[in-house]
Structure 1
Amino acid sequence: MRWEQLFADLESQFERLADADVDAEIAPRARAAFADVELTARLVPAIGTPLRVRTLGPVLTGVLDAVGPDWLTLTESGRRDRLVALGAITSIAGVGRSTAPPMGVVARRWTLRMVLRGLARDRSPVALALAGADPARVDDAAQVGGTIDRVGADFLELATHPEWEPRRAGSVRGTVLVPLAALVAVQISPWG
């Protein structure tokens, strides 16, 4: 009887120590695994969810539609989609706790520059929201409109013209170079 009690006591101590070892091992492993999670992996499960996105320019709200390696798209109520540069985002509210697997090789190729080059190829009139601008001030360059002519390594060239007019030599007012680091969001003109 005494031996049984001793063995039962030793067994319960062993189980407690084993559980403590497992618990002590799980937490650091979970932290280490989470350290490799990218922002895009947290955003993908939130597709279809309304978000509030603070940026270096305007605060944007809308339903998350798509996620790329360095961009996302939001559909605002009653408006068209906005392409938002991840590098211009300061915080995102409304995302759950789920995580998706990392993007595949093909998905990683759909960079912001590639999407902008597609807009340039299609000659789509766009409105660009820029970093550091105060959208509350009318005279501030919070937004510039026109057609993207070319996309370089770290900038785009925009032919400025009224967004309701197609890009024609007579309607172009000038050319603006926009560093991609200053680009917050792109909205395709409803006339495009």
Structure 2
Amino acid sequence: MRWEALFADLEAQLEAALAADRAAEISELTRAERATVLLADRLRSARGADVALLVAGGATIAGELVDLGADWALVGDGGRRALVPLQAVIAVRGLPVRAAPAPGAVARRLGLGSVLRALSRDRATVRLATEWAELAGRIELVGADHLDLVTGVDAPRSGAPMWTVPFAALRVVRSD
């Protein structure tokens, strides 16, 4: 009888130790998995939800997270839309803890330049907010890391004043 109690106690101790090891392993794997999550993955899981993006320069862009690309977020507030480069985001309010799976190959290629080229192709009037200035006009051309903005929107293309703006300087792009 004493032997059976001793073996039962040893077996219970072994099961408790195995359970503790499993719990520690699960915690470690969870931390390792969370360490691979990008901000874009968490933003993607918030698509359709209300968020607030605090951008460099102090502006807060709040509204529904309409769409998301590899390096940009589109936030809508009623009929207005704001394109925010993720590099300009300082903080986000309203994100769920979970992350969405990584996007497919096509979505990963739709970077900020692709969206800006679409605005250029549509000849949309835009307002570009940088940390130090706001510029209004039409995007004339989009390079790999910059755009040319024609500020005299009524002037002919050839003689219109133009600003060249690096993507790194962009904080928010709004179309009128």
Same structural fold, with TM-score higher than 0.5 when normalized by the shorter chain: yes
Closer, same or farther: CA 15–173 of 1 in aligned 2, 3 Å: same
Counterpart of 2:52?
52
Kindly indicate whether residue 69 of structure 2 is the aligned counterpart of residue 68 of structure 1. yes
Moved over 6 A (4+): none
Which segment is superposed worse, 12-21 or 33-42?
33-42
What is the DSSP-based 3-state SS (H/G/I as helix, E as strand, rest coil) of the residue aligned with 2:91? Answer: strand
More helix by share: 2
Structure-2 separation of matches of 1:36 and 1:62 = 27
Are 2:61 and 2:82, in contact at CA under 8 Å, matched by a contact in 1? no
Question: 1:112-127 counterparts in 2 under 5 A?
Answer: 112-127=112-127
Match of 2:170 in 1: 183
Instruction: Give the alignment of 1:95-134 within 5 angstroms.
Output: 95-130=95-130, 132-133=131-132
Point out where structure 2 has 5 or more consecutive residues left out of the alignment.
none
Which residue is 1:146 aligned to?
A: 137
In the alignment, residue 156 of structure 2 is paired with which amino acid? A
Report Cα offsets for 1:13-46 as digits up to 9, x if no partner. 0011101111221122111111111111101121
TM-score (norm 1): 0.85
Q: TM-score, normalised to structure 2's length?
A: 0.93
C-alpha RMSD of the superposition: 1.6
The residue aligned with 2:6 is 6
- AA paired with 2:87? G
Q: d(CA) in 1 for partners of 2:143 and 2:31?
A: 39
Number of aligned positions between the proteins: 174
